[in-house]
A and B are shown apart, each in its own frame.
Chain A
Amino acid sequence: MQEPDIEVTGALSDQAPWPMSAAHADAVILDETEDQVVAEPIGQWTLVWRRFIRHRIALIGGVMLILLILMAIFGPLLSPESPLSFNYFAGNKAPELNWRYLMGTDAQGHAIIMYILYGARISLEVGVFATVLTSIIGVLVGSIGGFFGGWVDAVMMRLTDVFLTLPFLPLLILLSAYTGGGNITFVILILGLLSWSPTARLVRSYFLSLRSQEFVQAAQALGVSSPRIMFKHMLPNALSVVIVSSTLNVAGFIIAEAAIDFLGVGIHTPNVSWGLALANSESYIADGNWWWPLFPGLALLITVLSVNFLGDGLRDALDVRAKVE
């Protein structure tokens, strides 16, 4: 559909396809006030960056998230032990000022800090990739339905309804159990494929309202193709809702992954995740091992909050109509 970018140089551009040439254009109708003072415009991305920087909470979220990503990448190097090593004689140790026992140990003598450092990778992977999958499917289904309307919309929305009515958690447990669980790719696929309905609905409703906007009609009236109108003109205008729903999704998926680990159908040893650490702690909480659920829980909380803060700031920063105070 889209023509390739041909950089036209010299000879070719001389034979421009329009008869109205620069010679005509030079004879300007109004007085062109070339020498008037025009403020040099600030680039759009500079403005986005400035708005983002001013958003204190978003900045905190962004910094936290960068730290978490670094932790996910380098965690295994920092960890005092691998998930495979354990020391029965150091089980149920309360936190002390020592890198290995900073967050205490579980009943088998695994350091909790090992769970945190190794688990970051899985939590973030699930959160991010499942969200990417959800957003792609949701945006496609929602934008096609909202743009074309009529029977196309009806088909898309009934499909969405079907996925909305699927009992998410039982199905997830069933599918996880059926495949034996523990496979992170599978967890991502399941989460992503089952959760795109709300995004699709959101995008569709936005597209319906954008559809009646004059700039969409104007683009049509000047011969812009439908796919281009959908993805170049309408989608960027719906981006803020996609970003907001995506950040909520990231948080939701991290929690969902923890939940299926907790239920024993997700990741299991020798892999570790924050959810798994929480799950294992369950039967020991009564013994007063507060550090065991506390640190994985805190890690989840901080991650989810950071993502939400970041999304909040991004939405505001990307709004071109917003003013910089």
Chain B
Amino acid sequence: MALETEQAQRAPRQEGTPLLQVKDLHTNFQTMDGVVKAVDGVSFDIQPGASVGIVGESGSGKSVTSLSIMRLVERPGWIPSGSIIFQGKDLLKLDDEQMRRIRGEDIAMVFQEPMSALNPVYTVGDQVAEIVRAHHRVGKRAAWARAVELFKLVGIPAADRRVHDYPHNLSGGMRQRVMIAMALANDPDLLILDEPTTALDVTIQAQILDLVRNLRERVNTAVLLITHDIGVVAEMCDEIIVMYGGKIMEHGTTHQIIDDPKHPYTRGLLAAIPAMGMKGQRLTVIPGTVPSPLRMPSGCPFRTRCPNVMDVCSNYPTLKTLDDGRQVYCWLYER
């Protein structure tokens, strides 16, 4: 319904230069027991103004992917190979100062915990104004005026007074709005939301998602949404990337992924969602548990739990592009 018309209206997806191209990204972490490959050969594109969701369980590498794009992976983590091309520049090759200029100006990020993501010792207006001034030569007064404007934009009531509040004066939902205001301060081209609603209760969650959806129409920012909640991405995004064990399983439009999942993992994930009218039935679960990141099976990481496992699965499948344009990493679709 609305989904199709919306997609038809949006600019043609696969044409033009993408805003962001992640190519064969690897991010490793050194641990006492060996190297963990948190992100293991991930590639995807984000078009200008698009909204892409990355879904996966804990440990699937979705958050590390976003931190890698921001180049905020810290010791003991490092990025051994891959490239992240943003507006023609490889972010992995920039020096720290160049990268600092991109953060908050071209790519901004909202974190999961609105409780701890604001500095307790400054007013929220101060913190928004700071982000403005970190990127533009404007005076204090102009930055504060901008902060009030942003507060209004993200729907904080009595914005001109709330800017003088400290984070502890605000509720979780309000703080997340402040975080979004900070992220939007310099009109970024890409907004990364890392589990933006996980720490909030359900009604506030819906408000924040509404806000992000509305803002997207207003400010034409591409959105990369990281979440474990497939319902949230289905609602918010045009495209979905499903990750498991540091690898991409399937990447397609929301319509394709939700209505017609191809990868056995995506199918399992969707089957595990309780549906309306399910009474007294057990939920379908994916058998087994996520393997330890230190003992990821060779080849397809999902093969130890996959109902369709084959001998060939011990080799990592190459990318299969199906007729409908979606990308699946699974031997089932080898032709």
Asked if A6 contacts B137 (CB within 8 A), the reply is yes
Query: How many angstroms between the C-alpha atoms of A217 and B66 in the bound complex?
Result: 13
Closest partner residue, chain B, to A44 (CB atom): B166
Contacts of A20 in B (CB 8 A): 149, 153, 184, 187, 218-219
* Bound complex: CA A13 to CA B183 (Å): 21
Neighbouring B residues of A223 by C-beta, 8 Å = 100-105, 131, 134-135
Bound form: Cα–Cα A8–B140 in Å? 8
A325 interface residue (CB < 8 Å to B)? no
How far is B116's CA from A214's CA once the two chains are assembled, in angstroms? 6
Give the distance in Å from the alpha carbon of A233 to the alpha carbon of B116 in the complex: 13
Given the contacts A24-B218, A320-B166, A222 and B187 also touching, CB distance less than 8 Å: no
Name the one of A7, A224, A237, A320 contacting B104, with C-beta atoms under 8 angstroms.
A224
Q: What 1/0 flags go to A66-92 for Cβ under 8 Å of B?
A: 000000000000000000000000000
Return the chain B residue nearest A235 by Cβ.
Answer: B121
- Cross-chain contact B157 with A7 (CB below 8 angstroms): no
Q: Is A98's beta carbon under 8 Å from chain B? A: no
Whether the pair A225, B111 counts as a contact (CB closer than 8 A) is no
Asked if A321 contacts B108 (CB within 8 A), the reply is no
Cβ-defined contact, A237 with B120, below 8 A: yes
Chain B residues with CB under 8 Å of A30's CB are 155, 157, 207, 211
Hey, which chain B residues are within 8 Å of A18, CB to CB? 136, 146, 185-187
Nearest-neighbour CB distance to chain A for B91, whole angstroms, equals 13
Q: Does B89 contact A (CB under 8 A)?
A: no
Residue of B nearest to A221 (CB): B109
Contact digits for A202-242, partner B, Cβ 8 Å, 1 yes 0 no:
00000000000111011111111110100011001100000
With A32-B152, A221-B109 in contact, do A17 and B103 touch (Cβ < 8 Å)? no
B183 touches A16 (CB 8 A): no
Asked if B102 and A13 sit within 8 Å, CB to CB, the answer is: no
State the CA gap A24–B185 with chains docked (Å).
13
Q: Mask for B152-194, Cβ within 8 A of A = 1, else 0?
A: 1111011101001110110000000001001111110000000
Known: A30-B155, A320-B121. A218 touches B179 (CB 8 A): yes
Please judge, given known A-B contacts A24-B153, A222-B104, whether A214 and B117 are in contact too, CB under 8 Å.
yes
- Cβ proximity bits B236-276 to A, threshold 8 Å, 1 near / 0 not: 00000000000000000000000000000000000000000
Q: Does A5 contact B (CB under 8 A)?
A: yes
The docked-state distance in angstroms from the alpha carbon of A28 to that of B159 is 11
Q: Which residue of B70, B138, B145 has the most chain A CB atoms within 10 A of its CB atom?
A: B138
**Closest residue of chain B to A4, judged by CB?**
B137
Which residues of A from 1 to 36 have beta carbons under 8 Å from B?
Answer: 3, 5-8, 12-13, 16-20, 22, 24-30, 32-34, 36
**Interface size, chain B (Cβ < 8 Å):** 66
Q: Which residues of A contact B179 (CB under 8 A)?
A: 218
Question: Most chain-B Cβ atoms within 10 A of its Cβ — which of A29, A222, A223?
Answer: A222
CB–CB B139/A8 < 8 A: yes
Q: Is A109 an interface residue (CB 8 A)?
A: no
A28 B100 Cβ-Cβ under 8 A: no
The CA-CA distance from A17 to B149 in the complex, in Å, is 14
Q: Is A170 located at the chain interface by the 8 A CB criterion?
A: no
Write the nearest CB–CB distance from B190 to chain A, whole angstroms: 12
The reply on A149 being an interface residue by CB < 8 A is yes
B119 proximal to A (CB < 8 A) = yes
Q: Are B136 and A215 in contact (CB under 8 A)?
A: no
Q: Of residues 302 to 325 in A, which have CB atoms within 8 Å of B's CB atoms? A: 320-321
Q: Are B134 and A224 in contact (CB-based, < 8 A)?
A: yes
**Contact between A41 and B169 (Cβ–Cβ < 8 Å)?**
yes
The reply to whether B166 and A29 form a contact with Cβ atoms under 8 Å apart is no
Tell me whether B119 and A219 are in contact (CB under 8 A). Answer: yes
Given contacts A219-B119, A221-B103, A223-B103, contact A38 B161 (CB under 8 A): yes
Is B312 among interface residues, defined by CB-CB distance under 8 A? no
State whether the Cβ of B222 lies closer than 8 Å to any Cβ in chain A: no
Q: For the complex, is A288 an interface residue (Cβ under 8 Å from B)? A: no
Q: When the two chains form their complex, are residues B109 and A222 in contact, meaning their CB atoms are under 8 A apart?
A: yes
Residue of A nearest to B219 (CB): A20
The chain B residue sitting closest to A224, CB to CB, is B134
Closest residue of chain B to A24, judged by CB?
A: B218
The answer to whether A38 touches B158, judged by C-beta atoms less than 8 angstroms apart, is yes
- Can you show 18 pairs from A to B with CB atoms below 8 A apart? A3-B137, A6-B139, A7-B140, A13-B138, A19-B187, A20-B187, A24-B219, A25-B150, A28-B155, A41-B164, A149-B75, A214-B113, A215-B118, A215-B120, A220-B72, A222-B109, A222-B182, A222-B183
Q: Which residues of B contact A (CB under 8 A)?
A: 70, 72, 75, 96, 100-105, 108-109, 111-113, 116-123, 130-131, 133-142, 145-146, 149-150, 152-155, 157-159, 161, 164-166, 168-169, 179, 182-187, 207, 210-211, 214-215, 218-219
- Given A8-B138, A32-B159, A40-B161, 5 other A-B contacts at CB below 8 A? A25-B149, A28-B152, A41-B165, A214-B113, A228-B130
List 10 tightest A-B contacts by C-beta distance, closest first.
A223-B104, A30-B155, A222-B104, A223-B103, A221-B109, A8-B142, A214-B116, A8-B139, A7-B139, A25-B149
